[in-house]
Amino acid sequence: MNNKEHIENVIKRSYDILQTVYEQQKENGNVTDKNNIQDSGSRILFPKYRTGKTRFSEQELRFIFVEQLNIEIKEHNWDVFYSVETPTSFRYIFKGGTPKVFKDEEDGKSAQFDLVIHDNKFNRIALIEFKANNASVAHHEKDFLKLKEEGSDTVMTYFLEVVKSSDAATVDSLKEKKTTYSGVFKCWSCSEKKYIIDE
């Protein structure tokens, strides 16, 4: 298997497990069958707010992804490493209108990628951003810009999103935000139990 195939395995399993966890493992839920919990593939819970409402964020997807990445590495002797909150190679300005990138200048500040997969020589082979709940255009733009500018023929880019619920307007909104990004973009809807964006 090549690196792309390994990453696709991790993504698919991560979304499948996220769906199961979302259905079974909420801090304010009633657990009646412990066997189902153990079969979910992760011990992570969706926590609750003080009000009792379940918090839904990209963090659960991110941690499940790392769990599945480690399983893929072990099961297939996939010789890779990963880093989290990894500094970008370029500098950026995200405030005050259109985001900007600075490749050689000292303007801007270093940003971060949520997760980067490295080969066994520690070279970057995949840049990954996680997002939840159809965040604002600005939040999507900055991640798409980083991925677009720092991805290459040898560095794959992935934008992985999850939404609690969705409808046709959600899909339209996400597709409209993606117009500047040509890398892999997947969005899973927990209400639909499937990808609503798989490009």
**Residue 158: per-residue pLDDT:** 98
Q: What are the residues facing 61 on neighbouring strands?
A: none
Choose between 141 and 32: higher pLDDT: 141
110, 91 in Cβ contact below 8 A?
yes
For 81, phi then psi, to 5°, come to -130, 170
Percent of the chain topping pLDDT 90: 78
Which of 25, 82, 93 lies closest to 55 in space, CA to CA? Answer: 25
**Residue 34: per-residue pLDDT:** 62
Q: What's the pLDDT tens digit per position in 14-51?
A: 999 999 999 988 887 666 566 655 578 899 999 999 99
102, 91 in Cβ contact below 8 A?
yes
Task: Name the pTM for this structure.
Answer: 0.93
Residue 81 carries which side chain, given as an amino acid letter?
Answer: F
DSSP 120: T
